[in-house]
Amino acid sequence: MRKCGLVTGASRGLGRAIAVTLAKDLGLHILINFAGNKEAANETKKQIEAEGGSAELMQFRVEDGTLVEKTLSNWILNNKDSKIEVLVNNAGITKDNLMVFMEESQFDDVVNVSLKGMFNVTKSVLTHMVRNRYGRIINIASLSGLKGVPGQVNYSAAKGGMIAATRSLAQEIAKRNITVNAVAPGFVASDMTQDLDVEMLKKLVPMKRFGEAKEVADLVSFIASDKAAYITGEIININGGIHS
Ligand code: NAP
């Protein structure tokens, strides 16, 4: 049986680092999900292959529940020699605005990608994992979902929802040998944070720096490994010392 890991939003940023690290550390064949940036997704694939691993691209927008279900059920049907052991729900977007100015669409878009997307993708692989009696589901939440951040009512709501869902699902499927955990990063250097005032924000972090995508990926890799078999329903902070 070929062991696989599905990482959503794996074309760039944290998702790419997670995909490359899971392939290297755990020897998983990686399903690289992305929304539209095929060139970047191919770069992730190249990096995995350069380290001796294997991967394939899997394009869908996580908020499109019908497409997610169709793509994943077809893949599972056509790959009977494979099992998805690890799912990392990483795809996420921000559309920051103070609530008084926030458009309904800014709220809906962020919740649909970051929260509903997690539901869509997880639901589409859950039966497969239950049948295999093994699984690691890792949700990439955020400090924003624990502490709340001004200008991010939409994003904090989505990530807070993800954290609560993590705890619920963990209890539902613990007896099936499937763990469900969330990782809550603080500020990490990526396209998502490139327009922020880094110099000002670094001062708020006790370690006085942003995190690296690889540092988050190493945590995800540990949670996805057999070493973390008894950890479930946890929200693990990785934020250089900013605690909620
Ligand atoms: P990023 O650099 O903006 O990358 C976003 C990734 O998500 C890309 O691969 C993008 O694909 C994909 N994506 C976006 N919308 C999607 C959709 N509708 N369906 C499928 N894929 C989609 O973001 P990042 O900083 O790596 O963030 C990754 C995750 O970490 C997010 O959930 C974010 O909320 C969380 N996080 C980040 C930070 C941080 O400081 N960076 C902190 C806390 C939490 P395309 O390339 O195809 O557009």
Q: What is the pLDDT of residue 66?
A: 98
Residue 243 pLDDT greater than 80, yes or no: no
Question: 242 in a domain, yes or no?
Answer: no
**Does residue 243 fall inside a structural domain?**
no
- Check pLDDT > 90 for residue 192: no
CA distance 93 to 113: 7
137 assigned to some structural domain: yes
User: What are the tokens at 109?
Assistant: 């878009």
Contact 73, 49 (CB under 8 A): no
- Is residue 11 within 8 A of residue 57, CB to CB? The reply is no
Confidence at 221, pLDDT banded by 50, 70, 90: very high
Residue 24 covered by a domain: yes
- How far is residue 193 from each of residues 14, 27, 93, 182, 203, measured CA to CA in Å? 11, 30, 11, 20, 15
The residues that bridge with 32 in the sheet, in sequence order, are 7, 57
Task: Yes or no: say if 34 and 9 are a contact pair by the CB < 8 Å rule.
Answer: yes
Expressed in angstroms and rounded, the spacing between residue 33 Cα and the centre of ligand 1 is 11
Residue 55 inside a domain? The answer is yes
CA distance 199 to 220: 27
Query: Which residue has better confidence, 200 or 234?
Result: 234
pLDDT of residue 195: 85
Give percent above pLDDT 90 in the chain.
94
Pick the residue whose CA is nearest to atom 23 on ligand 1.
192
Q: Which domain holds residue 69?
A: 2-236
- Whole-angstrom CA distances from 133 to 23, 85, 174 are 21, 9, 10
Task: Write out pLDDT tens, residues 94-138.
Answer: 999 999 999 999 999 999 999 999 999 999 999 999 999 999 999
Question: Has this prediction a pTM greater than 0.95?
Answer: yes
More confident site: 55 or 244: 55
Give the catalytic positions in this structure.
Answer: 155
State the CATH number of the domain containing residue 48. Answer: 3.40.50.720
How does DSSP classify residue 240? T
Q: How far is the CA of 34 from the centre of ligand 1 (A)?
A: 9
Instruction: Please name the residues in contact with 89: beta carbons below 8 A apart, sequence gap of 6 or more.
Output: 8, 62, 117, 118, 121, 122, 137, 138, 139, 140, 162
- For residue 94, the tally of other CB atoms under 10 A from its CB is 21
Core vs surface per residue 117-126: b (16+ CB within 10 A) or e = bbbbbbebbb
Which pLDDT does position 112 carry in this prediction? 98
Q: How far apart are CA 226 and CA 205, in angstroms?
A: 32
Q: What is the pLDDT of residue 197?
A: 86
**Given this model, what pLDDT does residue 244 score?**
58
Which pLDDT tens digit goes with each residue over 140-178?
999 999 999 999 999 999 999 999 999 999 999 999 999
Of 195 and 211, the one with more pLDDT: 211
The residues lining ligand 1, judged by C-beta closer than 6 Å to any ligand atom, are: 8-9, 11-15, 33-37, 40, 61-63, 90-93, 113-114, 140, 142, 185, 187-188, 190-193
- The reply to whether 167 falls in a domain is yes
Alpha helices in the chain (DSSP H): 13-26, 38-50, 65-78, 104-111, 117-132, 143-147, 153-173, 198-202, 213-224
Q: What is the pLDDT of residue 69?
A: 98
CA-proximal residue: ligand 1, atom 33 (nearest): 92
When pLDDT is averaged across residues 222-241 and rounded to a whole number, the result is 97
Whether 222 maps to a domain, the answer reads yes
- Mean pLDDT within 33-47: 98
The total number of structural domains in the chain stands at 1
